[in-house]
Each structure stands twice: as C-alpha cells, then as structure tokens.
C-alpha cells in the first residue's frame, strides 16, 4: 500500500475533535491542546471502568441459598465474576458444573496479596459450551489453609492445581497426586509468591543436583 496515504491518514485522526472549527487559527490548537492534556490527566487516573453489579437468575438463586457466602457478584469490562466464601467454593463449582453446565474448566490460578489477611485469591475460570459464557469464581484463603480439590469435578484441574501448589504452595485436599509440576520435587520455596524475589534460587538444590556453585 502507498505510504503517503497513511501519513495523511494518521494526523487526520487526532485532528478529528478539532475538525468542526477548521477556520480557527492554527496557533490556537496547540495552546488549547496543552492545557487540555494536563487537565485531562488528573481525572484519567481514577477513571477506568468500575465493576458493576451482576444480577441474573443464577446470582439470585445462589444468594438465596448461600446468603452472605456470596460476597460479590459483578461484571468488569463485560466479564462476570463471583467472589464466594472459601467454605462453599466446592459446592458452588459443583453446582456450576452440574446445574449451569459450565462443563469446561478453563483455568485455575492464584494471586498473592501479602498485605491482606487472607493472602491468596484462588480463581477458577469456567466456560459453558452450551451458553457460550465465561464466569470467574474467586475465593480468598489464608496462608496454610487448604481447599477441596476440583479434580472430581473436572479432570483438567489435576495439573492446574498442581501448578498452583508448585508456584504458591496452596494445598488441595483430595488431590490424587499433589506434587510439584514445573519445578523439581526437592525445590524449596514458592516462586510466584510476592515475597520470593525474582533472582532467588534454591542454592542448596542447585549445588547438590547440578554440581555448580550457583545458578545465577
């Protein structure tokens, strides 16, 4: 394609808001643009989409059954998520699988918030082939707490939970084969926790198994 055309097309886009007043002096536009840019900055920070409450039949029925166990039901940029109490998360997952036909468990992962009392977010991303819909189920647990394994609901949870265990040190009760998956079995530490610096390694393991002083 011809390059000059793009060159003309490109400035045309930022000029769009100024287009209604082309008769104005060009000197006015940079002067006007500058304060506008600086003025736009402070509100730009808190700006951004806010989670909106998610109201549906499913949420209402879950709320009526579990009450305050359903802590939050929201959508964020069109993506639905539920925050539920860790004691009922297994029941909710089972219900999502059997009643709501969320038959595909896309991913299980975790996020570490060291400053919070319940340090870990566990996130289950579910998808329903029938409804072509995605939902995230989130729960929060403290360090040392365990969750019931979802392997009985979705086989795919096996490796996904092993990875969460490997990277965050979160145990899942009833998991058939809970051991490290990406790191070697004898490794110490859980790398994706926030208190694990990026350069940290299990030096002892490296020295014994690789026969070198340091992996760095």
Partner 1 sequence: MKDLETDYRHAKPGQSGPGAVDYLDLDTKDQTFLDTTELVLNMGPQHPSTHGVLRVILKLDGEKVLGTECVIGYLHRGVEKIAENRTYAMFNPYVDRMDYVAAVSNGLGYCEAVEKLQNVEAPPRAQYIRVILTELCRIASHQVWLGTHALDIGALTPLFYCFRDREEILKIFEKYCGARLTTHAFRIGGCIYETYDGFEQDCLKFCDAFLPKLDEYEELLTTNRIWVRRTKGVGILNPEDCIALGVTGPVLRAAGVKWDLRKAQPYECYKNFDFEIPTGVNGDTYDRYLVRIEEMRQSVRIIRQAVEGLPQGPIMAKIPKVLKPPVGEVYHSIEAPKGELGYFIVSDGSLQPYRVRVRPPSFVNLQALDKMVRGLLVADVVAVIGTLDIVLGEVDR
**Residue 75 found at the interface with partner 1 (CB under 8 A):** no
Q: In the bound complex, what is the minimum distance in angstroms from residue 89's beta carbon to partner 1?
A: 18
Q: Could you tell me the smallest distance in angstroms from the CB atom of residue 60 to partner 1?
A: 24
The number of C-alpha atoms within 13 Å of 172 and in the hemisphere containing its C-beta is 29
* Beta carbon nearer to partner 1, 95 or 193: 193
- Report which DSSP code applies to 146: -
> By C-beta, is 10 or 60 nearer to partner 1?
10
Answer for which of 29, 109, 146, 171 binds partner 1 (CB under 8 A) is: 109
Token pair belonging to 23: 């008769």
Residues 146-165 close enough to bind partner 1 by CB under 8 A: 154-156, 158-160
For residue 128, count CB atoms less than 10 angstroms from its CB and return exposed for 0-12, middle for 13-18, buried for 19 or more. middle
Contact residue for partner 1 among 55, 76, 99, 118 (CB under 8 A) = 76
Cβ proximity to partner 1: between 25 and 166 the closer is 166
Considering only 106, 146, 205, 206, the residue that binds partner 1 (CB under 8 A) is: 106
Beta bridge partner(s), residue 76: 79
Query: What are the angstrom distances between the C-alpha of 33 and each of 28, 42, 82?
Result: 8, 15, 42
Q: Are 110 and 193 in contact (CB under 8 A)?
A: no
Rounded to whole angstroms, how far apart are CA atoms 39 and 55?
36
Asked if residue 111 binds partner 1 (CB under 8 A), the reply is yes
* Cβ closest to partner 1, residue 73 vs residue 167: 167
Tell me if 19 contacts partner 1 by CB under 8 A: no
CB of 49 to partner 1, least distance (A): 6
DSSP 3-state assignment of 18? helix
Q: Is the sign of the CA dihedral 175, 181, 183, 184 positive or negative?
A: positive
Say how many CA atoms lie within 13 Å of 4 toward its Cβ. Answer: 0
Which residues of this chain interact with partner 1, rule CB under 8 A?
Answer: 1, 3, 5-6, 9-10, 13-14, 45, 47-49, 51, 76-77, 79, 103-107, 109, 111-112, 123, 125, 129, 132, 134, 136, 154-156, 158-160, 167, 180-184, 191-192, 196, 198
């Amino acid at each position: 394609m011809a390059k000059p055309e793009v060159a003309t097309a490109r400035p045309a886009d930022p000029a769009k808001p100024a287009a209604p007043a082309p008769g104005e002096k060009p000197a006015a536009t940079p002067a006007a643009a500058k304060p506008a840019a600086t003025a736009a900055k402070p509100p730009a920070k808190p700006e951004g989409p806010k989670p909106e409450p998610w109201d549906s039949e499913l949420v209402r029925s879950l709320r009526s059954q579990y009450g305050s166990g359903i802590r939050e039901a929201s959508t964020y940029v069109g993506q639905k998520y539920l925050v539920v109490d860790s004691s009922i998360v297994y029941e909710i997952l089972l219900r999502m699988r059997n009643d709501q036909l969320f038959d595909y468990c896309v991913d299980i992962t975790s996020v570490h918030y060291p400053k919070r009392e319940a340090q870990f977010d566990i996130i289950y991303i579910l998808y329903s082939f029938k409804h072509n819909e995605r939902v995230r189920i989130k729960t929060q647990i403290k360090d040392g707490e365990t969750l019931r394994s979802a392997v009985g609901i979705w086989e795919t949870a096996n490796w996904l939970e092993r990875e969460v265990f490997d990277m965050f040190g979160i145990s899942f009760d009833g998991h058939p084969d809970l051991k490290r998956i990406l790191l070697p079995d004898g490794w110490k530490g859980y790398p994706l926790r926030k208190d694990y610096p990026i350069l940290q390694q299990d030096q002892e393991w490296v020295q014994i198994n690789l026969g070198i002083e340091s992996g760095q």
